[in-house]
Amino acid sequence: MTESDLRDLLCELGASLFARGYSVGSAGNISVRLPDGYLMTPTNSSLGRLDPARISKLAPDWSHLGGDKPSKEVFLHRAVLTARPEAGAVVHLHSTCATAIGCLAAPGEDAPIPPLTPYFVMRVGRRLPIVPYYRPGDSAMEPAVHQAALEARALLLANHGPVVSGKTLVDAVYTAEELEESAKLALMLRGMPARELTPAQVDDLLSTFG
C-alpha cells in the first residue's frame, strides 16, 4: 500500500472505531510503520475526524517530519514497534471493557481475560500482560511496555486502556475490536461458571492459525 492509501485507511478505520464507540472524545491513537518512518495520529485529535493530510509523519528516528504534532503516546508506540519488528501498526484505545479489566485490583497475571472464544485466542493470543500505571505520555513507561510487547501482541495499560499490535493496520484494528468484545464477555460472565476453552483447544487454535 502507498503512504497515501495508508493515510486514507487510517482515517477510515479511525472513523469506524469512533462511530462504533471504541473511542470517544480525543481518546486513542494509532501508528503505522512505513518504509521511511511512521504515520501517527496527531495529539488531541478525534479518531472520528482525522484528516489524511494532517496525520503526523515521523522519521525512522521518531523525530517529527510533517503534519500536526504527533500523539503524546509516541513512546508507547515506539516501545511496541521496536519490540515487534513484524508489527506494521499499533492501536491504543480507551475502549470501556478492556479498560475496566485493566482497572481490576486482581486481574490475573498475564491472562486477565480467559480463553472463552476461538477468535480471542487467534487474534490476541495466549498472553495479555498488564503494564503498571504511568501517566499518559510519560516516557518512563517505555521499558515496561517494550518488555511486555516482546512477550505478547496485545497488552493492557493499568487504569488506562488496551494497546494492540498487528501485522497490518487492518489486523491491529480487528484485534483491538476482538479484545474489547472479549473483555465484555469476560465481565458479563464474571462470577458465573463459564466454560473456558481447554489448554488443548487453545494449543490447537494457535498451531492452526498462528
Spatial distance between the Cα atoms of 81 and 84, rounded to a whole number of angstroms: 5
Spatial distance between the Cα atoms of 154 and 150, rounded to a whole number of angstroms: 10
Cβ pair 89, 166 in contact under 8 A: yes
Picking from 107, 97, 95, the residue whose alpha carbon sits closest to that of residue 132 is: 107
CA atoms within 13 A on the CB side of 175: 26
Find the binding residues for ligand 13P in span 142-201 (CB under 6 A). Answer: none
Q: Applying CB under 6 A, does 26 fall inside the site for ligand 13P?
A: yes
Scanning the structure block, which residue is given the C-alpha cell 512505513?
34
Site stretch for ligand 13P (CB under 6 A), options 13-21, 41-49, 144-152, 188-196:
41-49
Q: How many residues belong to the site for ligand 13P (CB under 6 A)?
A: 13
Cβ pair 10, 32 in contact under 8 A: yes
Site stretch for ligand 13P (CB under 6 A), options 26-34, 56-64, 80-88, 140-148:
26-34
CB of 69 to ligand 13P, least distance (A): 9
Q: How many residues does the chain have?
A: 210
CB of 164 to ligand 13P, least distance (A): 13
Among positions 54, 72, 167, 184, the unique one binding ligand 13P when judged by CB under 6 A:
72
CB of 40 to ligand 13P, least distance (A): 8
177 as an active site residue: the answer is no
CA atoms within 13 A on the CB side of 188: 7
Q: Applying CB under 6 A, does 118 fall inside the site for ligand 13P?
A: no
Q: Applying CB under 6 A, does 27 fall inside the site for ligand 13P?
A: yes
Residue 67 carries which DSSP code? S
Residue 116 carries which DSSP code? -
38 as an active site residue: the answer is no
Gyration radius from the chain CA atoms: 16
Q: Applying CB under 6 A, does 96 fall inside the site for ligand 13P?
A: no
Q: Applying CB under 6 A, does 91 fall inside the site for ligand 13P?
A: no
For residues 71 and 182, which CB has a smaller minimum distance to ligand 13P in the complex?
Answer: 71
Residues forming the active site: 73, 119
Residues lying near ligand 13P in the complex (CB under 6 A) are found at 26-29, 41, 43-44, 71-73, 92, 94, 136
